[in-house]
A and B are shown apart, each in its own frame.
Chain A
């Protein structure tokens, strides 16, 4: 009996810590958002990281396109989702963020169309998406992989506006002026598109 009492006294700090660790988490408020607009810019990646450029020319091997995708919250808000038992893991408290943002429409495809003759196989108005890759330091993704593997569920309002960098991994053999049309196809059937400024590949 005395042994059990001693054991209880010894375990008390641990049990107290465990009880305190149980989270008193607030419910997560579910917001909804819709993909609204895109704005595209030319990128110069000749330096350490891609930078938006308004220059008239760029090294063709260091060219890229930045898509600024703007998403807006819709009026729809779900009731707070209270999760019971979301407590001590390794005697620490992890609560979900107070907000979650779910998409009403999601990206199904990203396309890049050349508005000039890119090479002998891809004349003006051809799809040159295969020559670009999405770049997230230090990883490259095909457009399909990026769309499939990027979570559309967000936890912070700041994440509603994102930049997607497309880098030209197979430049054309020749130099000259180039302009591209970027299209983002959404699950609700809409297509967001914008043209890059014309730039000379050198």
Chain B
């Protein structure tokens, strides 16, 4: 009878006992739909096709099966100096046949270490056994990253003419509405420590545009073009880490 009581407790009472959980993990992120345009402006955006982020999560379960949570992610793209170098290489490959190319960008080595940031508000459905758990989640939030200005002076070979090409983003930094769905699952090492893996798929609306202004510096005549980036960017990520049950 006593043994049966212990069995009932471990199978039915131990799961779903937690209210507050805090988790930390490493997140590997990759784009599914191509966001970049193979344009020089790609190198002005502090965002990469794939990157690693640090993730902090806090969850509160107000019901046996239902909870809410907040996920914060911070990562860094290719270093600003590398990005500036890539912008220069891109401009040179386009124009160096006829022009000497001199570039400058708004990318600053002294800027924040974390230039990609994400924040989600989650609704969580909880399924647990004594040793395993699985939490499907639906999230809405914001993805943020910097998009810098860029400029190139093109001095024509064997001539006095100089052309300026400037690229100006519609705003700096950029915050984008993001929706995501994920499944967090793992193994309970103890009553308070869980190992966790979480694949996630997300989509953020970009609306990012660059204005390209080409100016003949002698005549001061300018031509403007708009470079628009894809409106919906689909990406996947997987994170792995530890969840601590606080209460």
Contact = CB atoms under 8 A, between A and B. Distances in A.
- Do A and B interact with each other, yes or no? yes
Interface of A: 45-49, 59, 61-64, 133, 135, 137-140, 167-169
Interface residues of B, number: 13
A10 to B, nearest CB: 28
Given A59-B159, A139-B217, A140-B218, A47 B164 contact: no
B155 A62 contact: no
B217 A47 contact: no
B43 to A, nearest CB: 21
Contacts of B158: 46, 59, 61-62
B49 interface: no
B100 A168 contact: no
Contact of B218 (A48, A133, A137): A133
B157 A46 contact: yes
B168 to A, nearest CB: 17
B218 A169 contact: yes
A62 to B, nearest CB: 5
Nearest to A49: B155
Nearest to A168: B160
A81 to B, nearest CB: 37
A47 B160 CA distance: 9
A138 B159 contact: no
A138 B162 contact: yes
Interface in B190-233: 217-218
A138 B153 contact: yes
A133 B217 CA distance: 11
13 contacts: A45-B159, A46-B159, A47-B100, A47-B157, A48-B100, A48-B155, A59-B158, A62-B158, A63-B160, A138-B102, A138-B162, A140-B218, A169-B161
A62 B162 contact: no
Given A133-B218, A138-B217, A61 B160 contact: yes
A61 B157 CA distance: 10
Contacts of A47: 100, 157
Contacts of A135: 160
Contact of A64 (B100, B153, B155, B160): B160
A51 B92 CA distance: 23
A53 to B, nearest CB: 13
A62 B160 contact: yes
Contacts of B159: 45-46, 59, 61-62
